[in-house]
Structure 1
Amino acid sequence: MSFSSDLGRFSVASLQAVERITRAIKLELFSGVILDTPVDTGRARGNWQTSTGYPKTSTVERFGANASLNEMRNSLGGLDGTTYLTNNLPYIEALEYGHSIQARSPDGMLRKNFARINQIVQRAINQHSI
């Protein structure tokens, strides 16, 4: 084996590890947001939409977390672009700030999950490093 081929293999393995880490961070962060969204009819959870390249600008008629989670898993993207998690319901901001009987926490679903971003990143690094 040559130094050049060793370096090439290390480079490929490192890039693959960074890709896995990036996807793991997005998966945990986005799942947390979706699952922490208060539920009355399930419409708010169902309207979380994942896209790459540009944020979605519409709403969808789906209810509950399952469809949002499935879309998210299939649309995470990796290092090749920005991944967006959007919810365009007119009352989503009010839910974030606790204007819901169903809200489990006054910390919201976005603020609560972003507050733990360092833990999410560290866990992903620990699990997916080369």
Structure 2
Amino acid sequence: MSFSGDMQRFITKTTTAHNTIARVATLELFSGVIRATPVDTGRARGGWQTGVGSAPKGDNKRLDKTAAEPLAEVERNTPPGAGQVTYLANNVPYIMNLEQGTSRQAPEGMVRKNMDRVQKMVDAAIRKNRV
């Protein structure tokens, strides 16, 4: 075993762990937020959009009570690893009201609740993948 070989294995292991944690955390956060969005007409849940490099603009006016379309978009658009900023946006005019707990279906909001949950997962993943 050489020093350079040891360093290369360390770099590979660290990069792989970092990329995995970044993708899994993004998918968990975004899908959790989408699933936690209250459903009436499906407009708020369907309104979630993902973008890489910049936040999506405008209201897509998508109705989707099941969340199938925004969840598929999250899976499709989330990069395979770290290094790019991925955005989740919802431009439905009343989304901030829902986040502030105006719906009995989501009194704790969607984003705050899932940020806390995913942060705990990320912390555990970092401890598990410590190199």
Bin the TM-score by the shorter chain. Answer: 0.7 to 0.9
The residue number in structure 2 matching 1:99 is 102
Q: Report matched runs for 1:46-85 at 5 Å.
A: 46-60=46-60, 61-64=62-65, 65-77=67-79, 78-85=81-88
Deviating 4+ runs (over 3 angstroms):
123-130
Partners of 2:47 and 2:128 in 1: CA distance? 30
- Of stretches 43-52 and 91-100 in structure 1, the one that deviates more from structure 2 is 91-100
CA drift at 1:8? 0.8
The residue number in structure 1 matching 2:6 is 6
Residue 110 of structure 1 pairs with residue 85 of structure 2: no
The residue number in structure 2 matching 1:21 is 21
Q: Specify the code of the residue in structure 1 equivalent to 2:48.
A: W
SS across alignment from 2:50: strand
Q: 1:82 to 1:108 in 2, by over 3 A?
A: same
Structure 2: gaps spanning 5 or more residues? none
Q: Is the 8 A contact 1:17 1:128 kept in 2?
A: yes
Taking every aligned residue pair, what percent have the same amino acid on both sides?
45
Q: Is the 8 A contact 1:18 1:129 kept in 2?
A: no
Which of 84, 90, 93 aligns to 2:93? It is 90
Structure 1: gaps spanning 5 or more residues? none
Q: 1:126 to 1:104 in 2, by over 3 A?
A: farther
SS across alignment from 1:106: coil
- Of stretches 85-94 and 75-84 in structure 1, the one that deviates more from structure 2 is 75-84
How many residues align? The count is: 128
SS across alignment from 2:83: coil
Partners of 1:47 and 1:23 in 2: CA distance? 22
Q: TM-score, normalised by structure 2?
A: 0.86
Q: TM-score, normalised by structure 1?
A: 0.86
CA RMSD of aligned residues (A): 1.9
CA drift at 1:93? 0.9
Q: Is the 8 A contact 1:54 1:84 kept in 2?
A: yes
